[in-house]
Structure 1
Amino acid sequence: MKIELHILQNFAPSNLNRDDTNAPKDCEFGGVRRARVSSQCLKRAIRTNETFSNALKSDDLEQNASVGKRTRLLKDQIIAILGLQEDLKDVQKTSDKEKTAKTENSKKLDDFIKAAVKTAIDDSDATKMLIHYDDSEIKMLANLFSKVLSGEKKPEEAAKEFKPKSKASDIALFGRMVAENTDFNVDAACQVAHAISTNKVSMEMDYFTAIDDLKKDFASEDAGAGMIGTVEFNSACFYRYSVVDTNQLKANLDGDNELSKKTVRAFIESSIAAIPTGKQNSMAAQNPPSFVMAVVKDSCAPWSLANAFEKPVGPGQNGLVVSSIERFDDYWGRLVSVYSNDGVKTAVLFTTENVDLKNLASSRVSGKKELVEKIIGAI
């Protein structure tokens, strides 16, 4: 079974996701330039949004579902769990001999991490690889290293007992790949497309000045600004698409059906709520989606409806948002007429706009809450 999510979201002037030149990311689609927000940016916005973790809390589960941590600071995490920070401070106040002994333990921890995780520790005490961990995995590493501290095992011996095993909902959704240690690998249950604008975009330039508050008014030697600069931005209506394979998700969560449903709920709710954070302090483009459609499919192939916007949408009389919704509705109808919707178990949508839907009117519900409940009920 697959669950698809289609979102149309119009943003005011913004720079949500920057490239290496600090310009908003873009791409060519349908022969014209489109605004773009990368898949990676969207996934991070989804999994770090508080809606995601809040939706995973439940009295029905033996314990709240977990959300992983993607970090290079594994050593700091292990030290914190074992309470070694205060020990380090105490040692620094005592003899050089004890300080040397503590340094030796630090080296043992480096050796342990390198053997267990298959990544070295650099001079800043960070792992050379950025890895996504479940909290339980970090605790397991800390417990194993405590055996090294007690002298029960050598670092390499303790490391052999570490078996990566995650039930974190975000890792189950988005997967995990560590080339040097395939034991960490988890096949992603979710595909997230790069969001692209339904309309053609042109980059705009904001020329700004910053005034030095302590300069004397009309100073004869320098009456100019303390700083000048430019920031690129755009405004666009984005089409966002993602699909979750519920069978793969359930397998990633050890067959836990309730946790799988909770994870799907968290993903849908957070996908609707999440907005990338790029340049938000300067732009405040906190614009919620204008259209959300979720589809549950038993058998037929997933459909991205990006090609509905292969010809860019123009604002027209009704504006970009309504025109984009109408284009989406029309293309859905054409796909159904050609391929049929036999494999579609449920299709549910809501919109903020007063728009006449010719093909999807029967799928319309009042809002987010009803959409989520109908989708969860269908799986």
Structure 2
Amino acid sequence: MSEFIQLHMLVSYPPSNLNRDDLGRPKTAMMGGAQRLRVSSQSLKRAWRTSDIFAGALAGHLGIRTKEMGTLVYRSLASGVSLLEIVQGTRDAPATFKPVPEEKARKWASGIAGIFGKLKPGDDALEIEQLAHFSPEEIAAIDALVAKLAATGKDPGEDDKKLLMERHTAADIAMFGRMLAASPIYNTEAAVQVSHAVTVHTVAVEDDYFTAVDDLNRGEEDLGAGHLGETEFASGLFYLYVCVNRDLLRDNLGGDEALTAASLRALVEAATKVAPTGKQNSFASRAYASYLLAERGCQQPRSLSVAYLKPLQDADLLGSAIRVLKETRDKMDAVYGKCSDACCDMNAHAGEGTLQEVLDFVAGHHA
């Protein structure tokens, strides 16, 4: 049976608008008959996946999600610059092969892009209709094919087009999965499930009316502001639940135990430290998790969100949220039996435990 790692986090954000809806307002959700502030799992995963923590800990093992690989391949063929240099955004990268004529470059780039998804309408279209997540191995294979095409000047053969790979070492794909509708055999089942973060208390979204002053307005003719605007914001203490199928994560990474451990460490550190980027310049609403409970075991996992079905109203909101979370876990264990074989927590509110201890706990594996 699979081993699961479950994370229960409490993180408090000051006035912010981290994750907006189609009207620009902070996202909300009804829970327990009360309006809560919400941050979507998609927003959280995006922030973690593109964080410096992931980039540093998982260098060489991160994919790229884009619709525009065809355009990048075309630029490489047309300029003679390596695709890897273009993908990495290297400035003034030198040409490494003779540029390909525009017509051939577009034709070949369109054909390569079409392997990863349905192309948008149009002759020799370069962009695919849906986002595709490319592993480092697939990008390297495309780069090698580009160099071969430029050197031979011949159209790619059927073997050249075998660019999709079932096995790869892209930790972000292994964690969060990928879906290729046209080639489902190359799909990756996500090993990490992330809940929407919701506040443990009722929240009312507020309006911020603001002005901007024209620096060159001396007040001689017009004393008014140069710009008027309005934005919405809210603040709250959020509960977030993450469930990791550790065995599936290891399988997705080809059985690489060291990379699996590194991925788990990066995931937990990013989850506790990295906030979504929405409106950060306006609110500077960066925050670390105040409490983290990690559990490990082979029982069926469960969220502890029911602890906050009744909105909290205590003056010591964080202290109460931690207490209620622990009480709910203990009561559920008393009824169902223990959901985990071991646990480890970090309580910044009380100054107890450390993040390093939790990282060591989730990275460790006991058969």
TM-score by length of 1: 0.85
3-state SS in 1 of match to 2:364:
helix
Q: 1:111 to 1:157 in 2, by over 3 A?
A: farther
Counterpart residue number, 1:361: none
Opposite residue 155 of structure 2, the aligned amino acid is K
Q: 1:354 to 1:148 in 2, by over 3 A?
A: closer
Using the alignment, how far apart are the partners of 1:115 and 1:229 within structure 2? 44
Using the alignment, how far apart are the partners of 2:348 and 2:310 within structure 1? 24
Counterpart residue number, 2:115: 116
> What's the offset of the Cα at 1:177?
0.5
> What are the superposed Cα offsets for residues 120-148 of structure 1, whole Å, 9 maximum, x if unpaired?
26778433321111122112022223333
- Could you tell me which of 339, 344, 353 is aligned with 1:366? 353
Contact kept? 2:112, 2:161, Cα under 8 Å:
no
Contact kept? 2:4, 2:299, Cα under 8 Å:
no
> What's the offset of the Cα at 1:349?
0.5
Contact kept? 2:19, 2:27, Cα under 8 Å:
yes
Counterpart residue number, 2:186: 184
- Could you tell me which of 312, 335, 342 is aligned with 1:338? 335
Contact kept? 1:193, 1:241, Cα under 8 Å:
yes
> What are the superposed Cα offsets for residues 62-81 of structure 1, whole Å, 9 maximum, x if unpaired?
xx551111112213443566
Using the alignment, how far apart are the partners of 1:371 and 1:111 within structure 2? 47
Using the alignment, how far apart are the partners of 1:352 and 1:81 within structure 2? 49
Using the alignment, how far apart are the partners of 2:52 and 2:77 within structure 1? 28
Q: Which runs of 5+ in 2 are unaligned?
A: 83-97
Worse overlay, 21-30 or 123-132: 123-132
Contact kept? 2:239, 2:305, Cα under 8 Å:
yes
Using the alignment, how far apart are the partners of 2:8 and 2:81 within structure 1? 50
Counterpart residue number, 2:346: 350
The alignment status of 1:68 with 2:63, answered yes or no, reads yes
Q: How does 1:215-364 map to 2 (within 5 A)?
A: 215-219=217-221, 222-297=222-297, 299-314=298-313, 316-318=314-316, 320-341=317-338, 343-354=339-350
Contact kept? 1:66, 1:168, Cα under 8 Å:
yes
Contact kept? 2:39, 2:196, Cα under 8 Å:
yes
Using the alignment, how far apart are the partners of 1:287 and 1:118 within structure 2? 38
Counterpart residue number, 2:91: none
Worse overlay, 77-86 or 189-198: 77-86
Using the alignment, how far apart are the partners of 2:347 and 2:75 within structure 1? 47
Contact kept? 2:116, 2:164, Cα under 8 Å:
no
Using the alignment, how far apart are the partners of 1:213 and 1:326 within structure 2? 51
Q: How does 1:192-203 map to 2 (within 5 A)?
A: 192-203=194-205
Counterpart residue number, 2:87: none
Opposite residue 28 of structure 2, the aligned amino acid is D
Worse overlay, 130-139 or 302-311: 130-139
Opposite residue 360 of structure 2, the aligned amino acid is E
Q: 1:147 to 1:238 in 2, by over 3 A?
A: same
Q: What root-mean-square deviation, in Å, do the aligned CA atoms of Structure 1 and Structure 2 show?
A: 2.4
3-state SS in 1 of match to 2:341:
strand
3-state SS in 2 of match to 1:235:
strand
> What's the offset of the Cα at 1:268?
1.1
Structure showing greater Rg: 1
Opposite residue 169 of structure 2, the aligned amino acid is K
> What's the offset of the Cα at 1:252?
0.6
The alignment status of 1:135 with 2:127, answered yes or no, reads no
Contact kept? 1:293, 1:350, Cα under 8 Å:
yes
Q: Which runs of 5+ in 1 are unaligned?
A: 57-63, 88-97, 356-364
Contact kept? 2:114, 2:128, Cα under 8 Å:
no
Identity of aligned residues (%): 34
Aligned residues: 346
Opposite residue 6 of structure 1, the aligned amino acid is H
Using the alignment, how far apart are the partners of 1:349 and 1:81 within structure 2? 49
> What's the offset of the Cα at 1:243?
0.7
Q: How does 1:140-151 map to 2 (within 5 A)?
A: 140-151=141-152
Q: 1:156 to 1:229 in 2, by over 3 A?
A: farther
Contact kept? 1:17, 1:41, Cα under 8 Å:
yes
Contact kept? 1:346, 1:378, Cα under 8 Å:
no
> What's the offset of the Cα at 1:311?
0.2
Q: 1:293 to 1:65 in 2, by over 3 A?
A: farther
> What are the superposed Cα offsets for residues 170-193 of structure 1, whole Å, 9 maximum, x if unpaired?
000000002122243101101000
TM-score by length of 2: 0.87
Using the alignment, how far apart are the partners of 2:51 and 2:37 within structure 1? 23
Q: How does 1:27-38 map to 2 (within 5 A)?
A: 27-38=29-40
Using the alignment, how far apart are the partners of 1:302 and 1:68 within structure 2? 28
> What are the superposed Cα offsets for residues 204-247 of structure 1, whole Å, 9 maximum, x if unpaired?
0000011111123241xx32111111100001100000111011
Contact kept? 1:70, 1:131, Cα under 8 Å:
yes
Worse overlay, 245-254 or 140-149: 140-149
Worse overlay, 144-153 or 32-41: 144-153
> What's the offset of the Cα at 1:162?
2.1
> What are the superposed Cα offsets for residues 75-101 of structure 1, whole Å, 9 maximum, x if unpaired?
3443566683569xxxxxxxxxx99x7
Q: 1:81 to 1:168 in 2, by over 3 A?
A: farther
Contact kept? 1:114, 1:121, Cα under 8 Å:
no
3-state SS in 2 of match to 1:296:
strand
